[in-house]
Amino acid sequence: GFPGEKITEGLDGLRERLADYARLGARFAKWRAVFTIGAQGPTRAGVDANCHALARFAALCQEAGLVPIVEPEVLMDGEHTLARHYEVTEIALRALFHELFVQRVHLEALLLKVNMVLAGTLCPRPATLDEEVQATWRCIQHAVPAAVPGIVFLSGGHSDVHATEHLDALNRVGPSPWELSFSFGRALQAPALKAWAGQAGHAAAAQHALLHRARCNSAARFGRYTSGMEAKEA
């Protein structure tokens, strides 16, 4: 009854699987929920169902001695404005922390992985980096409790440099109750994959590209990144 919306499955039998993972040496686990902005959604029912699952996952992780990483991702795909992406991200975060409270999850023992607030990829009026950073900062201030020790941002389709610039700018905004770091996928791996191109002889170049991107993101995590770091790489 909710066309176009998705739900993440996997709660059945999760308690036993987490116990096995902990015995094997795992120390954290992540659960991702995806929200697409469209003409009819995401609906409140879709948001609540996914956030309930995220919270149950987090509770089971903590029961097993693992650190849960909860990831409600509002996709950047579409024509939505920056204001609309802000609205949906705040709704998702507020719903998530309500469910975490209901499930008695200890906020001090989890990490939040979340999207930055962005204008849609097809938005007629693209937002500036400063506008997106200010919107992201305002959103997490309004919706994320200070008890959460850290927020790790996903890159969500950003280019590698763009994602680094956003993280750096967020860490320069001002005093924060959270550690603001990164859990980039595409934006961390893409340069290495491009350099490698499936050729064994390119392995050293791929490793160099990955190390460079990791160093840039490490600097951005402390608000110490500069565009000159890219120039040196070139």
**Which residues are identified as catalytic?**
71, 113
C-alpha 21/C-alpha 188 separation (Å) is 26
Bridge partners of 111, per DSSP, are 69, 150
Q: What is the DSSP letter of 73?
A: E
Q: Which two tokens stand for residue 90?
A: 């705040």
Contact between residue 89 and residue 128 where contact means Cβ atoms under 8 Å apart = no
Helices (H) and strands (E) in the chain, counts: 8, 5
Q: Which two tokens stand for residue 4?
A: 């176009």
The gap between the terminal CA atoms of the chain, to the nearest Å, is 51
Contacts of residue 13, Cβ cutoff 8 Å, sequence gap at least 6: none
Bridge partners of 34, per DSSP, are 73
Q: Where are the strands (E) in 47-158, listed by range?
A: 67-74, 111-114, 150-153
- How is 34-49 classified by DSSP, letter by letter? EE--BTTBS-HHHHHH
